[in-house]
Amino acid sequence: MKTLNDFDFKNKKAIIRVDFNVPLDENFNVTDATRIEAAKPTIDAILAQGGSVILMSHLGRPKGVEEKYSLKHILKTASEILGVEVKFASNCIGEEAQTAAKDLKPGEVLLLENLRFHNEEEAGDVNFAKELASLGDIYVNDAFGTAHRAHASTTIIAQFFPTEKCFGTLLAKEIESLNKVLKNSEKPVTAVLGGSKVSSKITVIENILDKVDHMIIGGGMTFTFIKAQGGKIGESICEDDKQELALEILRLAKEKGVQIHIPVDVVAADDFSNTANTQIVDVTAIPDGWQGLDAGPKSLENFKKVILDSKTILWNGPLGVFEMETFSKGTIALGDFIAESTQNGAFSLVGGGDSVAAVKQFGLEDKMSYVSTGGGAMLEMLEGKILPGIAAILD
Active-site residues: which are they? 35, 197, 353, 376
Q: How far apart are CA 145 and CA 280, in angstroms?
A: 38
- What burial class does residue 221 get, using C-beta atoms within 10 Å of its C-beta: 0-12 exposed, 13-18 middle, 19+ buried? buried
The amino acid that residue 105 corresponds to is K
Which residues does 179 contact at the CB level (< 8 Å), separation at least 6? none
Q: Are 296 and 267 in contact (CB under 8 A)?
A: yes
Q: Are 349 and 178 in contact (CB under 8 A)?
A: yes
Q: How far apart are CA 314 and CA 322, in angstroms?
A: 19
The DSSP letter of residue 68 is G
Q: How far apart are CA 153 and CA 131, in angstroms?
A: 10
Binding site, annotated residues for (2R)-3-phosphoglycerate: 35, 116, 149
Binding site, annotated residues: 19-21, 35, 58-61, 116, 149, 201, 292, 323, 352-355
Q: Are 349 and 313 in contact (CB under 8 A)?
A: yes
The DSSP H or E segment spanning 316 is: strand 312-316
In the 3-class helix/strand/coil scheme, how is 329-358 assigned residue by residue? HHHHHHHHHHHHHHHCCCEEEECCHHHHHH
- What burial class does residue 393 get, using C-beta atoms within 10 Å of its C-beta: 0-12 exposed, 13-18 middle, 19+ buried? buried
Binding site, annotated residues for ATP: 201, 292, 323, 352-355
Binding site, annotated residues for substrate: 19-21, 35, 58-61, 116, 149
Residues, the chain, total?
Answer: 395
Q: How far apart are CA 1 and CA 146, in angstroms?
A: 19
Of 318, 384, 310, residue with least CA distance to 346: 310
Phi, psi of 348 (to 5 degrees): -120, 130
